[in-house]
Structures are given as structure tokens and as C-alpha cells.
Structure 1
């Protein structure tokens, strides 16, 4: 049974025709494992010898079933990659061109890559996680991982944390049998398999690019090759955005390049933490969802340089209208959001909404042209409007659109 189970692995890493080339890719150069698939080859010995010496000694002390599980887990860590199809390569080149347009906005680059990777690999979702202290933090996410944006998980005991430590591509073929992953967490998001690629900056692994699938063994060697190329795009953006400064890299990954405000990922991170603090203290927290009114005519009439100047002006005005403890973030093209911790009630949040509207509505000039903008602001309160983060954001979003529709109807009547 044990021999059959090992052969079920097809000895694809032990009996590859081009075993020396695989050893070089897997970091096993210099080792001489028994890899030739001849009649005298013992699959058990071949499987064990394919692993680094420090990880094979302990297997002799294990029961056969435990040894099989350990061998299978370690063998799965050595992920072979293949060149993606010509069509996929063309799409990656097109992605490079789009990323070039994003310039030094590392947060936007990561968000763009996580949107593109599922389309290239068939993944249900993708995420970029940064290693920050003892945590792995979701700084960009898409698809089935979108709800994890800003989430912090313990680095130790996670596949992503292991990837950062080892600096090598890791694979989970089945979350139900892989001891390196949290089975219950995977079940909650419908995940069965994943690939985790290290992101390296200045010779240091600072995070991972991860794709996930609801299917067992959902990724091919070509998918792994695609992930490697897309991770290289993020690594290049890291280099140009931050050079060798770790603090600058964090700033570029978490802040909007145009306005300097926290980006969407950092907003979600701070919102999760602020909600946790408020709920633990039985306190209140307010959320403002803000949409700019009048930005499109400025872009159309005076060009995007004027629109960018308007966004920077509005960002400074918003910062001047809130407390130091509040967070103002740019979460979209013309969308902003504010976290208001430690508020007394809805009246306080309404007053803050009015202050922001007044500040933003004051006229300003660009190249001699008088400009004026307005805002539509929606409110959500914790715990009055709920205690779930996504539900609160949706509540503020609905209220914001209702304010915008009401203003549009009033203008039409005039």
C-alpha cells in the first residue's frame, strides 16, 4: 500500500527524465538522489532521497503512514514550473504595459496584478500578503479573496509565512490533507488548493503573491510559471518605487501615490483594527463613504492634470477637517472614506460630514481657472448599523448613493 501510494505521486519529482535540471531549479544541486526509473529503483528510497538530508532523517523513526504524509508534504513544496502558453505570455506583456502606466503607485500595481492573475491561471481569487512583524497582512486581494483585504493573520503556522521564511514557491494541492494550512479557514472561503510565490525586494522576501482554487490540485506547472512572472512584475515595481528603503516600501504599498493618503488596503486594515477596539470597549465608531461631485467635468474640460490637482487639494482639505485619530483614505478614483473612532453618536458623525462638505465645497483655482467640487457622503455607525465590516461599508455606500440621487433630483427640478 505504501509503495502504491508513493507511486500515486508518480514520482514526478524523483523519477523525472531530466532530474538534474529539476534539482537545479529546486535548490538540490550537488545531491545525487537515486532518480532513475529502472526496475531496481526503490520508490520509497527515491522519494526520501529527493528531499534535503535534514528533512529525511527523521522519517526513519515514523510509522509508514506518517512517513508517507511527511514525504508527500515535503515533495509538494518543490513546485516545478513550466513556460506559460504563447497567449498567456502575450497577456502578461500587455499587463506589463498597463503596470508601466501606473508608475510608482505600488498599491495600484499590486491591486492590478491580483485582478489579472485569476484570469491568467483560472484561480478563484488572488492576494498579495506583506510580512509585517509577526503578521501576514492582505494588502491586495481579488475574487474569492476580496473579503480578506486588510486582514491580519499570524505569520507562524501559515503557508504564506513559511513561503516568506524559505523564499521559495510553495504549493498546497489539497487543504483537507495538508498539515501546513488551516483547514477550517480554507473551508470558510471554499479553498482547496493554492500556490504561494515569494515577493523579493532588495534580496529580502517581504511578502507573497498567492492564488487559490476551490478544486483539488487546481494549478498546473504552467500556472506556477505564470505566477512567477506576475510576481516579478510586482518585484520590479517594488524596486522602482522604493529602492532599498524598507520603510519607503511599506509606504508605497499602503498609500496612494497621488494624494499620499492611505489606500484601500490600509483603510480596510485600520478599519478592522478600529472595529475590534470599539467592540471590545463597547464604544462607537463612524464610517464616512465619500464620492466626489464635479470631478468629471474638470477632467473633460481642463484635462487630467487639473483633475489630479483637484484630488490633491481635496485630500489636504479633508485632512484639515478631521481629528488626528481619524483616518482619511482614497479608496478609488474619486472615492474617499473616513474612519471616525471614539464618536459619541450619530450627531457627532453628522457634524463631521457637514464639516467635510463645507471644506471641500470652498472654491479654488487651477492655472487661473476657478474650480469648485462637492461631495456626496454616506454614514454608517458601529454598532448601530451592524457589527460586520462589509455590512457597514455597504450601508454607508447605499446612503451615499441616496444622497447623490437626492442632489441630482434637486438640480433637475431647478
Structure 2
């Protein structure tokens, strides 16, 4: 029987959408059990959550520092921690657990500055710990298949990329989207960027994962549209890649009628790939002769490497939660392999802290471009 890993969580208390999602995603494969946590900065709320989740009260800690210290000293301590707190706190929390010798999974963006992410990247290497950043959309079978198509040369050399991620949930004045939106709109908790940090890092990551392209420079226009806001809620970014290809990224939280509309178009010298997050069961491939093929997850046309992440037969819809579960499947396998002495880097099939640092380098270049009046700024990485 395989060993069930033990994990702890920082954040994810009452009303937390993302904390609950992480717990459900991990539970899909029953590879890890939640045994410890600091679920809220309010002790009573933290204890309430621990009780609801069946966590031993003695392992519901006062703060993350105590949790890292005490769990690392236990013979049955956690194998990894899941960090699902507002952006501004990610760096200190992740640093504490890495220093305690505990593997880390952190919601995106990894930190609020590139310098912080680069420091965590180096610390993870020094401590020989695994560090996942949960860019969920790279966990879909269809995006993994898209990556395989690009890698195989099926669409030739990538020439242009169009990627967008509009939402409409923050479109109205005096509406900050409840608990989930309030901290994103607050510079003190979000790190001085809203839409680009929340959605733009997803765009940067999925393009990088599918195409393998590295960004050379960006030109960004970051708008504050809704009256009363102080952080960006609509962003347009021109991108130039190291291979000479061009890209256009658009993210928005004020696009009324858009739900969670991440869309990717990759145009190559021999064909095109189209993918839409809200219909993730399929991918459209346009061949050099104009033939349009719609390929659905669950069929033999999907590469074996991507298809192994499928959970249900074709027609039984898989979506966002399963995609996150796929990231945790790979992460848990790597954590177990580390413990068993069988880990090799090629086992990693999830976004790492290096990918998280790339996202912060992208954000900082965009911020600088916007500050300078929308000029080209090189990525410093």
C-alpha cells in the first residue's frame, strides 16, 4: 500500500474559496491527509476550521512560525505545507517552512516581488526542498497536450501568441468582490498590483508552459478603470519573445459578461492551436492546409504523456478542480520520491518556484513599462 502523505495548511479558513479548492484537489487522489494548520489570523476562526476539518486541536497552531518549528520536530510531522494566504504574506511563510526543511506548495503569485521569489528559489535549492506554485491551468490534459504538440514541432516555429484572461466580477464602483476581492484591491495586502498579479501571471505562465518561449521585453498599459480603485483592473501588454515572435496579452476584471475566460491562441509556421479554459475538454488544431480538427480529452489522439492525467472516460466532464488535482498528483509523487530516495528532476510536471519567479519578473517589467509611459522594458531574470 502506498504511503499517504501528511500536509498542513496556512490560510483557508472560513469563507476561503481557494483554501477549500486546494483541499478538494488534494483529496481527489487521496495522496495526502490534512493534519495541521493555521487557518486564520483569528484564533477562534482557526480552531473552528480545524474542528470542521477533523484536525487534532494540538496541531492547530497560533501562527505559521510555531507550526513550521513544531511540525519539523515531530516524527510524524507534515511532508508539505499549502500556503493559501493573501499575496503579501507568501514570502515570509514559505521561507519559514523551507528553513524548517518542509516542502512547499503556494498559491500564485509566489510573492509580491521578483527579489523575494528569487530568494525562495535559491533557498529551495539550498535546502533541497520541492516548491510548487499552483498555476492551475497547466494541469489540464488539453494544455499538456498543447505543450506536446508545440514540443513535437507539429505547428512549426511559434510566430505569434494571443492570450487573454477577462473576468467581470470587479466591474462596479463600490463593489470589491467580498472577501476574495477586498485584499486583491488593497495595496497593503496584494503587493501593489491587482489584475496583472491575479490574472496576468496565469497568462504569462500558461504561454510559457505551452510554448516554451522566453520573454525578452514587454510594453504594458495598466488601467485603473473603476472609480475609487487604486490598483489596475484592466491590462494590455505587448510581448516580444527571445525567438523574435510577438505576443499580445489582455487581462481584465471589468469585462462584464466574462466569467473566467482564459483563452490561448498559438500561431506557428505550420499550424495553429486554440484553447479556451471554459471548455477545457477540447483543443482546436488548425493544420497547414486549413483543416480544422477539434480534439477531445479521453480519445487516442491525445498524447500518452498528457492523457495519463485524465480521470474519466470521454464525455464525463473534467475541469478546473481536476486540473489542480493533477498538479498535486505530480507534486505528491515527487515528495514521496524525495522521501524514498528515488526522485529525479525529470519527474517534475508542475509549475515550480522558478516559474513563479518568472511571473514576478514579468509583473515588475510591466509595472516599470507603465510607470515610464508605456515603453518597452526588458525582462530582468
In the superposition, the TM-score normalised over structure 1's length comes to: 0.27
Work out which of the two has the higher radius of gyration on C-alpha atoms and give 1 or 2.
1
The higher-RCO structure (CA 8 Å, 6+ apart) is 2
In the superposition, the TM-score normalised over structure 2's length comes to: 0.28
More helix by share: 1
